[in-house]
Amino acid sequence: MSTPLIKIIEVGPRDGLQNEKNIWTVEERIQLINLLTPCGFEEIEVGSFVSPIWVPQMANTALVFQSIIKSDHCRYSTLVPNQKGTELALTHNVRNISIFTAASEAFNKKNINCTIEESFERFKPIMVEAKQKNMRVRGYVSCAIECPYSGPILPEKVAEVAEQLWQLGCAEISLGDTIGKGTPETTRAMINTVKTRVPVDNLAIHCHDTYGRAIDNIEAAIENGVFIVDSAITGLGGCPYGGDNAKGNVATELVLAFLNRKNLYHTLNADAIKTARQFVLNR
Ligand code: HMG
Ligand code: MG
């Protein structure tokens, strides 16, 4: 397998902690991110500016963002669902935001209370503002393989939504196997369809490890040209609207072991990851 540098996006402080029943304090969230900073990630998702009624775990993201010690070698981003979230991000000097929609109508309704089309109506003013203010925008497509409510999703549908995000001006599109139902075969089929509509260099793979197949699915994505991989320290969390099967992002330490096993280039620091992992396990 010959590939360029594999870039890792650490989503634990957001996609991990948003699903924790035992809510982490602001201080704990700051400590975790400060331990993740020396790990060599391309980006750390710090939290989200979403409704604290919908996702109380992500309340006070502004305070977390302001308090962490940032490195020039890493991007620090937050998730935003709408213009209100974008305004909050701007007020607190966040330069990198992520917008999110799904390839499933049923999932979108549960997750952001709107249809796919309505989600794009929300995104248009966000993208105008982001362009004016020189913000980088990542786009997420959930249910890129299967939806917990409506079953398997056609790769063409994922490609259509991903292309719309791309045309809106997203710098990168992350394809989410939200409930971990993917196999190497379905992951390959999905990636190969999406990359006919969005350059593969701008695609990321976001796997949940519900059935223990995340690493095999990541391998399939990398073999098909993807080199941006999302992961979460210790495999924290899932999605609160993904149903019971959404728990467990792929663990960062498993991704690191895989990259080393395959002799793939990366910038991760094993000692720093070990320290951050221990912090989560000791909590
Ligand atoms: P809604 O209730 O339809 O919206 O929620 P609304 O506009 O009527 O607002 C309701 C209340 O929320 C209002 O407050 C707003 O001000 C407030 P009130 O007037 O009642 O006091 N509000 C906000 N507060 C803070 N920040 C905001 C914001 N917006 C409105 N940005 C909404 C619609 C989108 C807000 C809601 O559904 C929501 O916040 N959803 C977020 C759900 C979420 O965070 N899900 C997890 C992330 S997605 C994911 O994990 C998948 C991913 O990892 C990839 C994968 O694995 O597939 C990305
Ligand atoms: Mg996720």
Is the Cβ atom of 40 under 6 angstroms away from ligand 1? no
pLDDT confidence band for 13 (50 / 70 / 90): very high
Helix (H, G, I), strand (E, B) or coil at 173: strand
Confidence (pTM)? 0.96
Q: Tell me the best of 48, 50, 145, 205 to mutate to test the pocket of ligand 1, counting ligand atoms within 8 Å of each CB and taking the most.
A: 50
48 lines ligand 1 (CB under 6 A): yes
In the predicted model, is pLDDT for residue 57 greater than 60? yes
Segments making up each domain of the chain, as ranges: 7-282
Residue that is written with structure tokens 């248009």 in the block: 124
pLDDT at 70 > cutoff 90: yes
pLDDT of residue 247: 59
Residues whose beta carbons lie less than 5 angstroms from ion ligand 2: 15
Q: Dump pLDDT digits (tens) for 251-274.
A: 999 999 999 999 999 999 999 999
151: left (phi over 0), alpha (psi -120 to 50) or beta: left
At 205, which amino acid appears? I
What pLDDT sits at residue 182?
98
Helix/strand/coil percent split, the chain, to 5: 45, 20, 35
CA dihedral 200, 158, 229, 108 (to 10 degrees): 150
Give me the pLDDT at residue 21, please.
87
- Per the prediction, the chain carries an average pLDDT of 95
Ligand 1: residue whose CA is nearest its atom 4: 113
Question: Who has greater pLDDT, 244 or 131?
Answer: 131
* Backbone phi and psi for residue 10, each to the nearest 5 degrees, phi listed first: -85, 115
**Mean pLDDT lowest among 84-93, 116-125, 198-207, 243-252:** 243-252
How many CB atoms are closer than 10 A to CB 4? 10
What are 8's two structure tokens? 């890792």
Check: CB of residue 137 under 8 Å from CB of residue 118: no
Dist. CA 63 → ligand 2 center (Å): 23
Task: Give distance in angstroms: CA of 176 to centre of ligand 2.
Answer: 6
Determine whether the shortest distance from the Cβ of 82 to ligand 1 is under 6 A.
Answer: yes
Residue 278's contacts (CB-CB under 8 Å, 6 or more residues apart) are none
Query: What does the angle CA 269 – CA 270 – CA 275 come to, to the nearest 5 degrees?
Result: 100
CA distances from 173 to 35, 110, 129, 136 (A): 26, 21, 19, 12
Tell me how far apart the alpha carbons of residues 162 and 223 are, in angstroms, rounded to a whole number. Answer: 20
3-state secondary structure at position 109: helix
Whether the per-residue pLDDT at 227 is higher than 90: the answer is yes
Please give the pLDDT value at position 243. 63
| Residue 245 and residue 236 in contact, taking contact as beta carbons nearer than 8 Å | no
Residue 239 confidence (pLDDT):
57
Whether the pLDDT of residue 1 is over 80: the answer is no
pLDDT digits (tens, 9 = 90+) for 105-144: 999 999 999 999 999 999 999 999 999 999 999 999 999 9
Q: 30-50, pLDDT tens digit by residue? A: 999 999 999 999 999 999 999
| pLDDT band, residue 4 (cuts 50/70/90) | confident
* 166 pocket-lining for ligand 1 (C-beta < 6 Å): no
Which of 2-11, 151-160, 205-214 has the lowest average pLDDT?
2-11
What average pLDDT score do residues 220-228 get? 97
The CATH code of the domain at 7-282 is: 3.20.20.70
Angle (CA) 134-140-146 rounded to 5° is 175
Lowest mean pLDDT among 59-68, 219-228, 231-240: 231-240
- β 146-147/151-152 pair status: antiparallel
Burial class (CB in 10 A: 0-12, 13-18, 19+), 211: middle
